[in-house]
């Protein structure tokens, strides 16, 4: 997916890489659409990042939305950081979408 238009929440400027999506959010379900996703940089990410998004970040997000009963009219942001990765999401008061970003933070220098 091209980064000409960014779908999802904006990653911080310092992010090494990021993935964003505008997903359908109804009845506490998060449904990704293949044509509403973006990558930064505009290339396939390393396996480790993609694996974290798919195996840890998104399952956590789906469960967190159900556990918190996050409504579509909410502007609350849910967030999880794990090692170098973070995922954030918010319905942004959209009544039908949830805006997601997952990103890798730069390594801390000693």
Residue 24, domain CATH: 3.30.450.20
Query: Using 50, 70 and 90 to split pLDDT, how confident is the model at 15?
Result: very high
Secondary structure element (H or E) that encloses residue 59, with its range = helix 58-68
Residue 4 lies in a domain: no
Please give the tally of structural domains in the chain. 1
**Which of 78, 76, 73 lies closest to 88, judged by CA?**
78
Residue 45 lies in a domain: yes
pLDDT at 3: 47
**From residue 56, how far is each of 2, 35, 108 by CA, in Å?**
24, 22, 22
Query: Using 50, 70 and 90 to split pLDDT, how confident is the model at 4?
Result: low
Domain of 37, in residue numbers: 17-104
Instruction: For tokens 């399952």, name the residue.
Output: 59
- 16 by Cβ neighbours in 10 Å (0-12 / 13-18 / 19+) ranks as middle
**Digit-coded pLDDT (tens) for 31-88:** 999 999 998 887 777 899 999 999 999 999 999 999 999 999 999 999 999 999 999 9
Query: Using 50, 70 and 90 to split pLDDT, how confident is the model at 1?
Result: very low
């Amino acid at each position: 997916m091209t980064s000409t238009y960014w779908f999802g929440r904006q990653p911080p400027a310092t992010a090494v890489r990021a993935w964003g999506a505008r997903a359908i959010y109804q009845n506490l379900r998060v449904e990704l659409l293949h044509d509403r996703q973006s990558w930064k940089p505009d290339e396939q990410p390393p396996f480790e990042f993609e694996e974290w998004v798919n195996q840890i970040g998104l399952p956590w997000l789906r469960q967190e939305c159900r556990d918190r009963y996050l409504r579509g009219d909410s502007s609350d942001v849910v967030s999880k950081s794990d090692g170098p990765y973070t995922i954030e999401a918010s319905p942004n008061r959209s009544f039908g979408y949830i805006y997601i970003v997952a990103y890798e933070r730069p390594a801390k220098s000693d």
